Amino acid sequence: MYDAETGMEFTFDNKDTCRPLFRMEAKQNKAKTITEGRPIFDQVPFVTIISPGDTKNVPDTKVLDEHRQRWPRQWEAFQKGLEQPINGTPINQWPILNNAQVKEMQALNIYTIEEVASLSDGDTQQATGLMTLKQQAIAHLSSSKDDGVIYEALDKVEKLTEQMTALVEENKTLRNAVENVSRTKRKKKIDVSADDIPSGS
């Protein structure tokens, strides 16, 4: 799901609360610089790891295999030059927040309702009312799961209804075809009988 307001891509997979931001950095290659006698730089992938609610501890490091394995979808998007997806429901889609609160959340690196729900008790001390919002987010996600079951059932009913409609239409078509064949046979019988009547009678 693309959010035009933030320009971010959101997906619905809540396994990891940390969010990677992959990028390329130009790093000097000392060995090549010595060999060539001039500064030589290599493009090296780096990652900034953002934890919702934590603006102080933001690791920034060279990309390792563990980063690629931990966030395969984001890594693939980065390699393809696409926007790196964020897991969850965009915070600005949560009706209980006004625009100012949304901006406050984003300033704390919180971009999804799931990230609010996963905040540690320490992180909730950073802003007034954040603990209450965390509890509301947990309740919202819990009720959303129930809604998901309902939507899944409704989807199944809709598909069954479509199948029933298709079967009714198919049945009508077959009945019409049988009636047409039956009419044709009756007409042929009548035509044959008429030919058998003597012309002088």
Could you read off the pLDDT of 77-110 as tens digits, one per residue?
A: 888 888 777 778 888 888 888 888 888 888 888 8
Q: How confident is the model at residue 159 (pLDDT cuts 50, 70, 90)?
A: confident
Rounded Cα distance between 195 and 166, Å, is: 44
Cα–Cα separations (whole angstroms), residue 137 to 5, 42, 61 = 21, 44, 31
> Which residue range(s) make up the domain with 35?
2-130
149 within a domain of the structure (yes/no): no
174 within a domain of the structure (yes/no): no
153 within a domain of the structure (yes/no): no
Question: How is 59-77 classified by DSSP, letter by letter?
Answer: -EEE--HHHHHHSHHHHHH
- Check pLDDT > 60 for residue 10: no
Who has greater pLDDT, 40 or 83? 40
Average pLDDT over residues 6-20: 65
160 within a domain of the structure (yes/no): no
176 within a domain of the structure (yes/no): no
Q: What is the mean pLDDT of the chain?
A: 80
142 within a domain of the structure (yes/no): no
Domain count for the chain: 1
From the CB of residue 57, how many other CB atoms can be counted at a distance below 10 Å?
8
**How high is the pLDDT of residue 84?**
74
Average pLDDT over residues 24-53: 88
63 within a domain of the structure (yes/no): yes
Residue 29 in contact with residue 40, Cβ under 8 Å? yes
**How high is the pLDDT of residue 47?**
94
Residue 29 in contact with residue 42, Cβ under 8 Å? yes
- Check pLDDT > 80 for residue 187: no
Q: Which of 31-35, 40-44, 123-127 has the lowest mean pLDDT?
A: 123-127
Average pLDDT over residues 34-46: 88
Who has greater pLDDT, 179 or 8? 179
**How high is the pLDDT of residue 65?**
93
Rounded Cα distance between 89 and 114, Å, is: 7
- Check pLDDT > 60 for residue 4: no
158 within a domain of the structure (yes/no): no
Rounded Cα distance between 18 and 39, Å, is: 36
Please tell me whether residue 56 adopts helix, strand or coil conformation.
coil
Q: How confident is the model at residue 68 (pLDDT cuts 50, 70, 90)?
A: very high
Q: Report the DSSP beta bridge partners of residue 42.
A: 27
